[in-house]
Amino acid sequence: MKKKFFLLALCLLSGIGAYAQSRGNEIGFKSDNDSFLGQGSDRYYTNGFFLNYRHAIDGAKLKSNMANAVFGLELGQKIYNAQSGQLPSAAEVDRPFAGYLYLGASANILYKNETTVKLGARVGVVGPAAGGYAVQKLIHNTFGFYELNSWQYQVRNAPQLNLSAEVNKLLARSSWADLTFSGYVNTGTGFNAAGVGPMIRLGNFNQLFQSVSTQSTVSKNANAGLLHKNEVFFYYKPQINAVLYDATVQGNIFKDHPEPGTQEIVGDINHLVFSNQLGVAFTTSRFVFDIGAVINTREVKQMVKSTHQWGSVTVLYRFN
């Protein structure tokens, strides 16, 4: 009897272990804020919050050249200030205030040769309906920050439908470092841009088909043959961006600017923006963490500051 009980317990424990190994789903959040860098700034892209859910496609349904495929949903909001949220006059507004609220879906196809293609679509709104002022006011009131007085200078409401494509391709790898080409294209009613650049990783990283770097830490493919059980690595991603249109700066793409009878202040975008992203990513058996910083050159010609930067924290939980 004891022997049978022991075998039953062993089977149950084995089942629990197998269950723990399955990481087909992932849920979590990403938070961006310029205050994360401890500089006391509250300008330009000042806050972003995103809720994510990702689901891996069954490995048995993948084509022979595919290592992984991930479907994702995202609810996000971005908030933009001028050089401050408290300004004495419209003359001090060097970048329009704006909120951007959206719901997005994505399909991330990851190949065995470590080429990845991620396609996405987002629907949402830019302007007062995005709730940027309400959220920033709540944050300032909660933490005792200064009183906002300049949100009357935000862009007007504009519905959004935007599409995106992102490509990554491994170029070279050693045991502790690798180099990847990365590029993207955005197009739609609010955001039209493209960018390219390298991504450098140093440390214990996994292949691009199941890594923090490509938002593909979930998988139902048991034979992935990963380089490491858990990832712990530093990354650096410089990028050059060509920007054609940005609704958070220029407002509704279908209307003349500034719109008659409004206090809208419309900025003049820089069509060439350089970006530097760096950080540390690591995973456990269930959790994914990514802590980084982004530094951009001036995105609007009127900006008083030549660069702006923010910190980013991502926390995800994987489950079956």
Written as one letter, the residue type at 291 is I
Classify residue 202 as exposed, middle or buried by CB count within 10 Å of its CB (0-12, 13-18, 19+). middle
Any idea what the CATH number is for the domain that residue 210 is in?
2.40.128.140
Domain containing 174 equals 2-319
| Tokens standing for residue 206 | 């996994």
Say yes or no to pLDDT of 213 above 90. Answer: yes
Across the range 218-239, mean pLDDT stands at 91
Beta-carbon contacts of residue 292 (< 8 Å; ≥ 6 apart): 235, 277, 278, 279, 280, 281, 311, 312
- Predicted pLDDT at 259: 59
Predicted confidence band of residue 223 (pLDDT cuts 50, 70, 90): low
Beta-carbon contacts of residue 113 (< 8 Å; ≥ 6 apart): 65, 170
Say yes or no to pLDDT of 158 above 90. Answer: yes
Total count of domains within the chain: 1
What is the per-residue pLDDT across 71-83, written as a single tens digit (0 to 9) for each? 999 999 999 999 9
Quote the pTM value: 0.90
Lowest mean pLDDT among 8-12, 178-182, 194-198, 235-239: 8-12
User: pLDDT over 90 for what percent of the chain?
Assistant: 80
Give 62-103 as a DSSP string.
S-TTEEEEEEEEEEEEEEE-SS-S--SSGGG-SS-BEEEEEE
Judged by DSSP in three states, 119 sits in strand
Q: Are 57 and 253 in contact (CB under 8 A)?
A: no
What is the per-residue pLDDT across 167-197, written as a single tens digit (0 to 9) for each? 999 999 999 999 999 999 999 999 999 999 9
- The mean of the pLDDT values for the chain is 90
Predicted confidence band of residue 222 (pLDDT cuts 50, 70, 90): low
Written as one letter, the residue type at 248 is T
- Predicted pLDDT at 98: 95
Best CA proximity match to 137, nearest among 73, 86, 102, 208:
86
Rounded CA-CA distance 72/1 in Å is: 48
Say yes or no to pLDDT of 60 above 60. Answer: yes
What is the per-residue pLDDT across 290-302, written as a single tens digit (0 to 9) for each? 999 999 999 999 9
What is the per-residue pLDDT across 83-104, written as a single tens digit (0 to 9) for each? 999 999 888 999 999 999 999 9
- Could you tell me whether strands 232-246 and 45-56 are parallel, antiparallel, or unpaired per DSSP bridges? unpaired
Q: Are 266 and 273 in contact (CB under 8 A)?
A: no
| Tokens standing for residue 182 | 């990365």
Best CA proximity match to 123, nearest among 105, 106, 103:
103
- Predicted pLDDT at 8: 44
What's 147's DSSP letter?
P
| Tokens standing for residue 249 | 């700066």
Across the range 260-289, mean pLDDT stands at 87
